[in-house]
């Protein structure tokens, strides 16, 4: 795939290596938002079917991306909403525990901590072995070893949000199935940029904020709820999630049945007439590019950076645990961190500081020039 910068409206003077912070808006999504906004001038043009059709389309596109049935997709406003929905439907026997990653994103960590407190369950925090040059091998092994017949639920990110470290979701999902644990994955930092297959990875619930790798607007996320959540309780009682909701004339013939599918977990006002068309355009574009195409693009783009780091004898994670779209730079020993920070700003390079690390994230709008500039800045930040 060639560079796709022309489909975005990024400031040409900025090197935006920060899709893990927020994805830029596609021009097509911007146009969809403008059309939707103008439509709000005359609500008579919004017909009852419009309360459902936008959501249906988005669900079909997301289902294609993660390999599930569109009926198992629900719209959420944030990842924390998705976690609360899933965890609210998980029971726990005495003596069972839950598992979370070390330094997990706070929305996931707090959701699981609260569930543990309510259920008097222990929370096991699993990290890599300390002191190793790389983390992938030991971290994955430690996760697998910690899942036992006493595990009620594992909640973890698909790749570590601070450094993109890839987890072996297929083996972890299989282990969860073997012991009967529920597997909840926060796909926010990889879905759209790396393979996500809920069937192959045996994921029970996949929760994604939409505003990063899905190029969606802030405030609209999306989730998959597998059969473990069939017939469950939603967080709230939206009229839209009842089986008779399309019959606007008879809404007060109160229907106590929720829709059969995961649509019962949709957030209230899921028909959001402005945000849904934006996410729809973005998912359409991602499916056209294909995740495989995006991954390959990012891999080729970042190859010179890794070559540079290896030349400078910087420890790089083993290939199989590296994400191509998101990674933390371990800096060459002779780089002055303050000098580097100033240099990044002066050269208008946008990256994120997460923990002690410099998080770089790339996507199809980035060019070779962005990576060349980053290498130049690293080189010029060396202590003389």
The residues binding ligand PLP (CB under 6 A) are 78-80, 105, 107, 157, 161, 186, 188-189, 209, 221
- Which pairs from 29-32 meet CB under 8 Å and 24+ separation? 29/215, 29/216, 29/217, 29/277, 29/278, 29/279, 29/281, 29/282, 30/278, 31/281, 32/277, 32/278, 32/280, 32/281
Nearest-approach distance from CB 217 to ligand PLP, in angstroms: 12
Measured from the CB atom, is 80 or 135 closer to ligand PLP? 80
Measured from the CB atom, is 72 or 158 closer to ligand PLP? 158
Measured from the CB atom, is 159 or 349 closer to ligand PLP? 159
Measured from the CB atom, is 186 or 317 closer to ligand PLP? 186
Q: Which two three-digit tokens encode residue 271?
A: 């028909």
Measured from the CB atom, is 362 or 377 closer to ligand PLP? 362
What is the C-alpha to C-alpha distance for residues 244 and 289, in angstroms, rounded to an integer?
A: 37
What is the C-alpha to C-alpha distance for residues 329 and 314, in angstroms, rounded to an integer?
A: 9
Residue carrying structure tokens 């470290």? 165
Buried b (16+ CB within 10 A) or exposed e, 198-227: beebbbbbbbbbbbbbbbbbeebbbbbbbe
Nearest-approach distance from CB 161 to ligand PLP, in angstroms: 4
| Short-list 96, 160, 95, 149, CA closest to 126 | 160
Nearest-approach distance from CB 284 to ligand PLP, in angstroms: 22
Nearest-approach distance from CB 80 to ligand PLP, in angstroms: 4
Nearest-approach distance from CB 299 to ligand PLP, in angstroms: 21
Interhelix angle 291-311/368-380, nearest 10 degrees: 20
Measured from the CB atom, is 347 or 357 closer to ligand PLP? 357
Nearest-approach distance from CB 371 to ligand PLP, in angstroms: 23
């Amino acid at each position: 795939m060639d560079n796709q910068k022309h489909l975005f409206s990024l400031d040409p003077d900025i090197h935006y290596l920060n899709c893990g912070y927020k994805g830029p808006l596609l021009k097509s999504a911007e146009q969809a938002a403008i059309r939707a906004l103008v439509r709000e001038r005359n609500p008579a043009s919004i017909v009852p079917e419009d309360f459902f059709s936008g959501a249906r389309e988005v669900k079909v596109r997301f289902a294609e991306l993660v390999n599930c049935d569109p009926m198992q997709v629900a719209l959420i406003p944030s990842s924390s909403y998705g976690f609360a929905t899933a965890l609210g439907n998980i029971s726990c026997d005495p003596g069972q525990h839950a598992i979370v990653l070390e330094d997990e994103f706070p929305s996931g960590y707090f959701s699981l901590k609260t569930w543990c407190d309510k259920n008097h369950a222990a929370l096991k925090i699993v990290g890599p072995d300390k002191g190793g040059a790389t983390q992938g091998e030991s971290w994955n092994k430690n996760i697998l070893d910690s899942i036992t017949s006493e595990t009620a639920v594992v909640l973890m990110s698909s790749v570590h949000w601070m450094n993109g470290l890839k987890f072996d979701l297929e083996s972890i999902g299989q282990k969860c199935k073997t012991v009967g644990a529920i597997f909840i994955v926060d796909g926010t930092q990889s879905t759209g940029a790396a393979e996500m297959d809920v069937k192959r990875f045996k994921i029970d619930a996949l929760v994604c904020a939409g505003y990063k790798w899905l190029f969606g607007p802030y405030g609209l996320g999306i989730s998959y709820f597998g059969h473990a959540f069939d017939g469950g309780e939603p967080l709230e009682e939206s009229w839209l999630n009842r089986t008779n909701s399309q019959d606007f004339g008879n809404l007060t013939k109160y229907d106590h049945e929720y829709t059969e599918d995961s649509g019962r977990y949709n957030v209230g006002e899921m028909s959001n007439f402005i945000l849904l068309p934006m996410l729809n355009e973005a998912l359409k574009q991602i499916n056209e590019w294909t995740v495989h195409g995006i991954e390959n693009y990012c891999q080729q783009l970042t190859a010179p950076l890794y070559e540079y780091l290896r030349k400078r004898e910087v420890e790089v994670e083993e290939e199989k645990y590296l994400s191509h779209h998101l990674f933390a730079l371990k800096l060459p020993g002779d780089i002055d961190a303050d000098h580097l920070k100033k240099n990044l700003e002066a050269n208008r390079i946008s990256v994120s500081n997460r923990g002690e690390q410099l998080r770089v994230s790339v996507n199809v709008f980035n060019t070779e020039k962005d990576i060349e500039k980053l290498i130049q800045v690293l080189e010029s930040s060396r202590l003389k």
